[in-house]
Amino acid sequence: MKFKFWGVRGSIPTPGPQTVKYGGNTTCIEVRTARNDLLILDAGTGIFALAQSLPERVPVTAHILLTHTHWDHIQGLPFFLPIFDVGNCIHIYGADDDISGLGIERAISVQLQHSYFPINEAQLRADVHYHRLQNGESIEIGGARITPLALNHPVVNLGYRIDDSDGSSLFFTGDYEPVVNRFSRDDSEFAAAQAGILQTQQEIVKVIGHVDSLIVDASYTDLEYQHKANWGHGTYEGGVALAQLTHAKKLYFTHHEPGRRDDELEAIYQRMLGLTPPDLPIFLAQEGGGYIAAEAREQDALRDLAQRRA
């Protein structure tokens, strides 16, 4: 299995000279299984460039797995151009809305309302199929098994584990804020909250355990998080902790803060190299960056990593 980042930015697109290296598009990851099935994790603005990279005049079958329906994860959906052409087959997967109980087909019908978009749903000429997913219930796509895992966020957010037929595996959190115990140790509610956290961690380990590539929401530093608790996002330090808890083999930080410049991202990365165990390769998700799930990006990157740690 291979994967490539087409959008790595959180919340809002951020084009411009300060973000040109890591990229300004919002979340979108192309996954190619060993059988070359096309899986797409989230449909942020990065999906537009992904669509343009597909060969012309070849029918497209795409499986778009939405972690959740916040704007930055679906904004590119009406601009996924194969959706307008006869002969293409687009499958869209996601959780039911937690308030209305409606399925993921709602995402498109809301986006294509007359006030927001010039083209209506009836003009999508591809064969579009919607699939409602349940937490923990695996599905098969081609030779791959996909397991959704609900992770803490203000709306239902499904992280996805992909186990491919070649034995490689990947997990993407989508937007995820790890739950922390907000009670002090002498508070009567501390123990119950702690037990709940441990149970959640066990469920997380069961799904994510020993994954080859772990891609996490790392919006904030620990310091920034102090002012952004309950906003629904994780930290670099939390990403490393999740990788260690689940024995992930490689870790990718994504959902970069929209205000973060390339040089600031790299300064954080340097600091994280010093805080991460040497046997856990870490990477900043970069638009255009392609990877093989079960291998480090390239030997050069690993050597570079070792030298920086020496």
Chain residues in the site for Zn ion (CB under 5 A): 10, 70, 72, 175
Asked whether 73 and 174 are in contact (CB, 8 A), the reply is yes
Nearer to Zn ion, 63 or 68 (CB): 68
Nearer to Zn ion, 69 or 168 (CB): 69
Q: Least separation, in Å, of the C-beta of 233 and Zn ion? A: 7
Q: Least separation, in Å, of the C-beta of 303 and Zn ion? A: 33
Q: Least separation, in Å, of the C-beta of 59 and Zn ion? A: 31
Instruction: Residue 64: name the closest of 56, 46, 244 by CA.
Output: 46
Q: Least separation, in Å, of the C-beta of 104 and Zn ion? A: 15
Q: Least separation, in Å, of the C-beta of 198 and Zn ion? A: 25
Query: Which residue number has the CB closest to Zn ion?
Result: 70
* DSSP states of 237-292: HHHHHHHHHHT-SEEEEESB-TT--HHHHHHHHHHHHHHS-TTS-EEE--TT-EEE
Q: Least separation, in Å, of the C-beta of 239 and Zn ion? A: 15
Q: Least separation, in Å, of the C-beta of 177 and Zn ion? A: 10
Task: Provide the pairing of β-strand 250-254 with 144-151.
Answer: unpaired
Asked whether 253 and 233 are in contact (CB, 8 A), the reply is no
Nearer to Zn ion, 30 or 175 (CB): 175
Instruction: Residue 63: name the closest of 93, 101, 26 by CA.
Output: 93
Exposed / middle / buried, residue 298 (Cβ in 10 Å: 0-12, 13-18, 19+): exposed
Nearer to Zn ion, 11 or 286 (CB): 11
> Using CA atoms, how far apart are residues 195 and 202, in angstroms rounded to an integer?
11
Nearer to Zn ion, 70 or 161 (CB): 70
Nearer to Zn ion, 169 or 254 (CB): 254
CA angle (131, 213, 260) in 5-degree steps: 90
Residue 189, sorted as left (phi over 0), alpha (psi -120 to 50) or beta, turns out to be alpha
Nearer to Zn ion, 72 or 164 (CB): 72
Nearer to Zn ion, 10 or 281 (CB): 10
Residue 226, sorted as left (phi over 0), alpha (psi -120 to 50) or beta, turns out to be alpha
Q: Least separation, in Å, of the C-beta of 219 and Zn ion? A: 8
> Using CA atoms, how far apart are residues 66 and 41, in angstroms rounded to an integer?
6
